[in-house]
Structure 1
Amino acid sequence: MGMTLQGCNHISNFSTDSINKYATPQALIDQKKLNASNGGAKEYVYDWGQQQKSTEPQALYPRKYLGSYCHAKGGKFGLLYKSNLHLVKDQAQKKRLMANGNVKQGIGAYECVLPDEHWIVSIEPTAEGKLESNLSARAVSLQTRMLSADEAHQWYKNIGGNSTEKKTTKNAVTTKNSKIEIAKEPDNKKDTEKKKESKPTVETSQNVTAPVVETPQQQQLKAYVTARRDLSKGTNKLNACNSAQRAYNYGKLAGTNASVYIDSGMLVARCLTSVPAYSSRFSNPKGQANKILQNLASNYNHAGAKRMLKQGQ
């Protein structure tokens, strides 16, 4: 396994001031390069070996960065779902990872609860192996991605502990005792009967396939399209607003234009001012909407956001 950890400086250098420059947790994930350049899993050292035993394990970086970000915003950050390592296909790799405390402390689904919102991030291992540059060290590939509450529930609750493996259950089925007649012997002894209990086994197998992991760009676009469609139709408004918020929380993703992020923000502002079922969850929905509009007007020169600010919504 090769190592490319640009953007992952020592965690102690990650100050509160530097955290506040990230508009969203997805922006933090992208700009700190917690994933690979294609949005997939990135390698982190979890065991440096005996000679560098005191060196800080990199496998804790994604959790620590996002936890520090949440705390700096005034939120509470904690484990929501434990990881069952179902993306790790190789059983020997899975066994090594499950036995390592540095890995187990940094994986799973974590929730940040803020006064006006909450978000969930998933940190999942996909593989494990030795480093090419340091054969005494071992690394784990971690994928960090934002999830909605429904996605997190589906991913962690509906997927079995070993979702990519065949689960075999053997049920013993007992038949009635059957009498088997023993052939008569030449000396004309009496016939004897022998009871024999037969227990055939029935083997059933179930193969559950883990869902395909979408890139953050795909997830953001999907959430935005759903929100725009439902709000245009006037149906499922609360779910539509939640989808818009989720799309906006991704921030401006690398490799995409800003339109999806901007338009999602406009939808959220609309929800905060005209959808009571959604806005009632916030202590100051109008102030929250103004904050979003000011961001879009100042950083993206968005005419619609400027107009809404002038109109006072």
Structure 2
Amino acid sequence: MNLKIFLLLGGMGFVLHGCSSMNALTSDSLKSFTSPQDVIDKKNINENNSSAKEYVYDWGKNYPERQVESLIPRSSLSNYCISHGGRFSLFQKSSMHLVKDTGSKKLLNTYSSVKQGIGTYYCKQSDGQQWYVSIEPLSERRMDNASRVVNLQTKIMNLDEVKAFYSKAHTTTTLAEKKQNTVNSKTLNNVTSKTTTAKVIEEKKVTQPVVEDTKVQQTTNTVVSTPQTQQMQLYTSARKDLGRGQNQINACNTAERAYNYGRLRGTSSVNAYAESGILVAKCLTSVPSYSRRFSNPNDRAKRILQNLATNQNHAVAKHMLNQMK
């Protein structure tokens, strides 16, 4: 009997020792970071202590189950703030002004896996220490046949630096808009001039097939890079996969990205925005692996359909709404 009691007490002591060791390990691991900059350096938030690092924000259809990496900088610094009794909150939304390529900026704006992890965040720790961290995208690119990465710059700032940074961001955005307007104006003038010249050449019956082919090729290359074309490509890809019953969750995500582009001017006879919305609504009501991401997928589907029925006078949207009543 005494032997059993001895063994029982010994086992309990071993368990308690294990628990206290685990708590000590957790505490030590938090104490190992002395500052938010220390987190950035030791967790390699910026590549090799440089100013930025690439993170996967879309694994593509080949690896739909993998977790994206683009939220790592924000989550790491948020955990550090919370571990020091602080509250981590968004101080300033990102305008992505450091992304120079317009197409890349539009694409990144369609991904919640990017937008939810960027901007300037503020932390006030329980010991009174306050700090700001700026997480800004610089560029994005295709990593392989399916995956895409975003280059994120993570930087600790004080309040004056934050104000200066976003003041510069506002100036940069304004200048970019003015420059774009100037480019558009020049482009319009060039197009008008070329059209007039083409008419004169036509009247004189002078043909230059080689030059014409070059112009057609240039026009084609320009169209491929437009947001309208990107939206149409996303919609077409999603429609094909859903029609075949293949890669459904990836197809639903693709349809959502196409829908998030919004109603773009200059699109073809197929309204990619509205048709993508229909696909998203179908995903919300008939693809469980996609709809379970939302707390109330049916209500979300109804809102999308109501928008299309009211603003686009979409017959299919009206029909689906009637079926859901």
Normalising to structure 2: TM-score of the pair? 0.45
**Which one has the bigger helix percentage?**
2
Higher RCO (C-alpha under 8 Å, 6+ residues apart): 1
**Which one has the bigger strand percentage?**
1
